[in-house]
A and B are shown apart, each in its own frame.
Chain A
Amino acid sequence: MKVRTIELDGYNQFKGVKIDLTYPKGHEKAGQPLEKICFIGQSGTGKTSILRLIKWFVTLNTKIGKNLNVLVPGNDKIKFEMQVSNLKFCLASGTDGLIFKNAKFENDSVDLEKFKTLRNDLIKKTLPLLVNFPTETIYTEILNIGPKEPIPTQIALKNRIEYLEALNPKQVMDYAIDAIDKTFEYLLKEIAEHRAEEIVYKNQISNEALKVNSKSEDIEKANNIYRDWLKKNPNPLEKLANNLLNGILKPLGLKVKTDLDKSAVLHISNIEIQTLDGVDIPYHFWSTGTKHLINLLIPLYELKPKNAIILMDEPERSLYPDMQRMVVDKCVSLGTDCQYFFATHSPIIASSFDPWEIIELKFDDDNKHIYQEQYYTGERHVDNYKFNPKYMSWDSILNQVFDIEGDGNPERQLKINELAKISQRITKKKQKETKETLLKDADYLKDVEDFKILANQLKWNLGSVEI
């Protein structure tokens, strides 16, 4: 499923806002829904509200606003145009739930009943349909603390395997409601099942060895059975570690713990991490950035979403700038034909987007209403955008996209002013005096020295300076 347009008129502070979420003219995908979108704007401009609306409209929530302490939108205050395969449809808000406005399937109009059938058929196999990562993700308890039981019994292991096999992900994974650590049980069930089965095989080897009249060929046979099984069933945790997490954790001095921990099988539904030297790091001691990254990436990696809507509010939180640089691309790479909605305050996150993918929300002159700042003039065409964050320096993004004045601290501006004045004195003297005179002019020589010192403090490239 994908969202094509969002109209907000009279809902919260939005007035006459129509957000076009399709590729502009001149783009090879012109007219098709955007694959990734980034909302930016001052706090309170409605970024999170829009993410919430997307969740409600995509999941056909009939109780918009009623289960939260927020305003229930009036009739037609919000309109969404959406698309699933060849079915395009428009829904609007209503005081009693969503209102069906119109729908077309392969260019033929369809009525409400037909729409319901088509929509349900088309999304039936979309699992998940939506994943929501809000800013405040819910956790229940920390699962890998407290005393662990000794080596589990065969019966306990079989029960565990049966339990894991019965787990299935939901169509809507909303971490504003679902505890993220609990969902790891089924997200990582393949890993847990593998662990449990591995212990069964290893126990069989031990049992052979512990027999009073144990024979070496029987032990070897059990060993071979284990090795054959392992060959056919490579450890999925190692795959997860090698393909995704270890590359991200390495700059943090960490790696995924892949050694078998027998006692963990029954009690840990999360992965474990350790230092590069192999020292275990209990979950309580994970940094918030590490937790955030793992909790963001594992669901996407394990669910392999296809045609889903993914909502990520402030993915940059607790992440160092180098991690922010990769987080958007990494998340997007884990899904297929999905539509990703990000909301951010980070210029680094914003630099991962083309200008038509950025929706900037702003307060109007009176700070009463919110509008969308347009980045193009004239026709909405790729050539008419006044800048592209992907090509801009951080300075320029901060200044032009986030409206930050200056290219550094106010102290820097004072120092640059000082530099300008010295450079002007040098230039003027050079235009008036001969080289011989200047080399005897103490004031001139002092200015040159001062200029060098100041330029170095300001990290001004002296190689490019002509004064």
Chain B
Amino acid sequence: MRKIDKTIFFATAFAEYIKEYAKNIGYHPVYDSSKNPYYNDVYYNLLFCQKGLCAYTEDLLENTIWKDIPNKWKNGKYIGETPKLDADLDHFNPLLRSNQGWDLDNLFVVKTYINRKIKLRKKVYHFFKPDNPNYSPEKYLEYNFLTHRFIPNSDLETIQQEKVDYMIETLGLNAFSTLESRRLYLSEIKFTMKNSFITFEVYKNEKLYKFFTAYEMSKFELEN
């Protein structure tokens, strides 16, 4: 799970709408998913921040339009393409959904399967939030290339490892479909690097487009 920078912000009309609403009513409008006129603004703003990837699994959600999202705004509203993606807006902390349902800080674009089948409304630990200033994948995670699973960093205290284990499961980092996709992707990279004589750095800079964390953590296995 990569660190995500949400400071890149285009959805100013949405921000104004929420600010006004909260000022008058005291809390956010009801989170009503895609029925809200600002849904796409939030969705595509976040998709750009996440570089077209699922915020948790780093699986690819969209690989063509996301790069041009900064150029698709008019008066603070998103006017670009809105293809149907296999991805939903997820409330990282489900408890905030009722009164702060449109809090950008709590929203991420994630794979539909992870949102609806894995994460659901389970409790979360905030230290393991992709945009938490103190979060970094290296601090909390290791990648086991044999099983293609993320596991807690073994340098952490046991109690912390247990919390990371819980979050790995809750956010679907090792969900089978993701794990299989990651296994196939990294295996193909290893084959390509070995037989087309491409170095780790060159591949990263020129070809890599998903599963960045697993890639970085598999440097030794990919090169040997």
Contact = CB atoms under 8 A, between A and B. Distances in A.
A421 interface: yes
B176 A423 contact: no
The 8 lowest CB-CB distance pairs between A and B, nearest first, are: A420-B144, A420-B147, A420-B149, A423-B146, A406-B176, A424-B144, A420-B151, A421-B151
Contact of A424 (B113, B151, B175, B180): B151
A433 to B, nearest CB: 15
Interface in A423-467: 423-425, 427-428, 431, 465-467
Interface of B: 113, 117-118, 142, 144, 146-147, 149, 151, 154, 165, 174-177, 180, 220-221
Given A417-B149, A420-B144, 7 more contacts: A400-B177, A403-B113, A405-B118, A405-B177, A420-B151, A421-B151, A431-B220
B154 A421 contact: yes
Contacts of B176: 399, 405-407
* B118, B177, B221: residue with the most chain A Cβ atoms closer than 10 Å: B177
Contacts of B142: 424
Contact of B154 (A400, A413, A416, A425): A425
A407 B180 CA distance: 10
Contacts of A465: 146
A396 interface: yes
A463 to B, nearest CB: 13
Contacts of A421: 144, 151, 154
Contacts of A407: 176
Contacts of B146: 419-420, 423, 465-467
25 contacts: A396-B180, A399-B177, A399-B180, A403-B113, A405-B117, A405-B176, A406-B176, A416-B147, A416-B149, A417-B147, A417-B151, A417-B165, A419-B146, A420-B144, A420-B147, A420-B151, A421-B144, A421-B151, A423-B144, A423-B147, A424-B142, A424-B151, A424-B154, A425-B154, A431-B220
A420 B174 CA distance: 12
A400 B147 CA distance: 19
A403 B165 CA distance: 24
Contacts of A428: 154
B202 to A, nearest CB: 23
Interface of A: 396, 399-400, 403, 405-407, 413, 416-417, 419-421, 423-425, 427-428, 431, 465-467
Contacts of A400: 177
A413 B165 CA distance: 13
A425 B146 CA distance: 12
A417 B144 CA distance: 10
Nearest to B152: A421
B145 to A, nearest CB: 8
A172 B221 CA distance: 63
B185 to A, nearest CB: 14
A419 B118 CA distance: 22
A247 B136 CA distance: 62
A314 to B, nearest CB: 25
A115 B146 CA distance: 64
B141 to A, nearest CB: 11
Nearest to A467: B146
Contacts of B175: 405
Contacts of A420: 144, 146-147, 149, 151
A405 B165 CA distance: 18
Nearest to A425: B154
B154 to A, nearest CB: 7
A26 B51 CA distance: 34
Contacts of A427: 144
B215 to A, nearest CB: 17
Residue from A399, A400, A406, A421 whose CB has the most chain B CB atoms within 10 Å: A421
Nearest to A398: B176
